[in-house]
């Protein structure tokens, strides 16, 4: 029996989804995680996958198949509506497939990379600390944006 490691992206804060994906790889030991979204949350799902891949689990996961589709259902008024869906498959990079040299880190942003080669408890503590730091940065950016308006 295979366990389904899927994260459904919706209206919760962005970092909740990033943390959920990272936790699937680190504490749950998933080799593959699917980031699923529909409608107006598709762009948020793409951002989640990119932040996890390039900041938190740099050189440890890769983007696999990206599946676009649409669903049809009846809304509250009884009308048939169609909504776009997107599934982004993220896979753990095996030791053999790992790049020989990691990409140079962008000096303008702090490294949020987490190593998967540590005990689960240590990884969970790191994820929690990085999530708190990232949430503070996100909150500061939102404050800046609202001050500019």
Q: Could you tell me which residues come within 8 angstroms of residue 85 by beta carbon, excluding any fewer than 6 positions away?
A: 36, 37, 38, 42, 68, 69, 70, 71
* 117-131 pLDDT per residue, tens: 666 666 667 777 767
Whether this model's pTM surpasses 0.85: no
Place of tokens 């240590």: 122
* 8-60 pLDDT per residue, tens: 999 999 999 999 999 999 888 889 999 999 999 999 999 999 999 999 998 89
| Residue 36: both structure tokens together | 């699923």
Largest separation between any pair of C-alpha atoms in the chain: 56
Give the angle subtended at the CA of 126 by the CAs of 125 and 127, to the nearest 5°.
Answer: 90
Beta strands in the chain, from DSSP E residues, in sequence order: 6-8, 32-38, 61-74, 80-92
* 129-144 pLDDT per residue, tens: 767 766 666 676 666 6
Domains identified in the chain and CATH numbers:
6-95+107-148 (3.30.110.20)
| Residue 39: both structure tokens together | 């409608």
Q: Could you tell me which residues come within 8 angstroms of residue 141 by beta carbon, excluding any fewer than 6 positions away?
A: none
| Residue 35: both structure tokens together | 């980031």
């Amino acid at each position: 029996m295979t366990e389904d490691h899927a994260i459904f992206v919706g209206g919760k804060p962005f970092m909740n989804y990033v943390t959920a994906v990272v936790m699937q790889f680190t504490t749950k030991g998933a080799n593959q995680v699917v980031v699923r979204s529909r409608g107006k949350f598709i762009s948020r799902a793409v951002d989640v996958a990119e932040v996890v891949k390039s900041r938190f689990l740099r050189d440890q996961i890769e983007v696999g198949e990206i599946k676009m589709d649409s669903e049809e259902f009846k809304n509250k008024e009884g009308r048939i509506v169609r909504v776009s869906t997107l599934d982004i498959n993220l896979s753990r990079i095996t030791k053999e497939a790992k790049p020989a040299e990691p990409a140079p880190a962008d000096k303008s942003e702090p490294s949020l990379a987490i190593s998967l080669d540590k005990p689960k408890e240590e990884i969970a503590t790191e994820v929690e600390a990085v999530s708190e730091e990232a949430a503070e940065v996100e909150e500061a950016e939102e404050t800046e944006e609202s001050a500019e308006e």
